[in-house]
Amino acid sequence: MNDPYLYEGSSILRNLLNIHDEKELDIAEAELSQANMMLLYEQGFNVFSTQGIKTIHKVLFEDVYDWAGEFRTINIQKREPLLAGISVWYSDAENIKKDLDSAWKALNKIKWRNLSREDFAAQIARIFPPLWQVHPFREGNTRTIVMLMTFFVEHYDYYFDKELLAASAGYVRNAFVMASLGQYSEFEHLDKILLDAICTEPIEYTDDLDQEESVPQGEKYQKYKTDYKPVAHEYRVDDEENKK
């Protein structure tokens, strides 16, 4: 079976823009999803459920993919440079809803308003990786979960430095990877950036976050910069399919 999400004989995702160049698609997808992200943020959002995840994904990517907001129908993997080319084990397509339900059940057990800021951040770092690890969509999972996390944090009356996470996208993805390794999971990386991002006071931004000397918080932005280079998700062929 070939990946039905790709143009035939290509590694490019089928898209509404009919773009067949990977770099061009990446740029268009980033620009359109960012614009939609800002619109959604202005509107506000408080649907913390499986349907909420689907809604966020649809809003972000409906200008690019006709399957925006729909769960993937195939199994996927992503060769992580951080793991020497090994992929995190994402949920099988048939288990997506069940695994999301389990993750939401764990989230809803926590009395979030009873936690200190530090404990709140620590719980976010442990509760959101299982939602991320499901990877319910063919593409756009990390952006969807980070957007959901932003709304969730602000729902509990904290300020969330979403610009810090946007400027540290590679670090954030790697932190989710390290927090999704079962018994070998490491949470310190996600703990660290979430403690910096979750604030009790409004966050002041400058025009140029890359200028470390321009603002007191500049150092905070610089320390999470990485040389991360995006790697595409792939169709995961399991052993049973190999035997066919």
Summarised one tens digit per residue, pLDDT across range 56-76 is: 999 999 999 999 999 999 999
Query: Locate tokens 């689907």: which residue?
Result: 54
CA torsion sign for 172, 93, 99, 34 is: positive
- Global pTM reads 0.91
Q: How many Å apart are CA 182 and CA 24, to the nearest integer?
A: 36
Please name the residues in contact with 123: beta carbons below 8 A apart, sequence gap of 6 or more.
110, 112, 115
**φ, ψ for residue 19, nearest 5 deg:** -90, 135
pLDDT (0 to 100) of residue 183? 96
Phi, psi of 234 (to 5 degrees): -130, 155
Given a cut of 90, whether residue 214 has pLDDT beyond it is no
Structural domains in the chain, sorted by start:
22-237 (1.10.3290.10)
Query: What pLDDT score does 221 carry?
Result: 78
- What is the C-alpha to C-alpha distance for residues 57 and 54, in angstroms, rounded to an integer? 5
Strand partners, 160: 198
The dihedral sign for the CA sequence 57, 59, 60, 66: positive
User: Given pLDDT bands bounded at 50, 70 and 90, which one contains residue 208?
Assistant: low
Using the predicted structure, report yes or no on whether residue 209 has a pLDDT greater than 50: no
Angle between helices 169-178 and 117-134 (to 10 degrees): 80
pLDDT, tens digit (0-9, with 9 covering 90-100), for 177-200: 999 999 999 999 999 999 999 999
The C-alpha atoms of residue 175 and residue 72 are separated, in whole angstroms, by 24
Question: What's the pLDDT score for residue 217?
Answer: 57
Residue 29 in this model has a pLDDT that exceeds 60? yes
Q: Please write the tens of the pLDDT for every residue from 118-136.
A: 999 999 999 999 999 999 9
Please give the torsion angle defined by the CA atoms of residues 165, 170, 173 and 174, in that order, rounded to the nearest 10 degrees. -120
Look at residue 241 in the predicted model and tell me its pLDDT.
Answer: 53
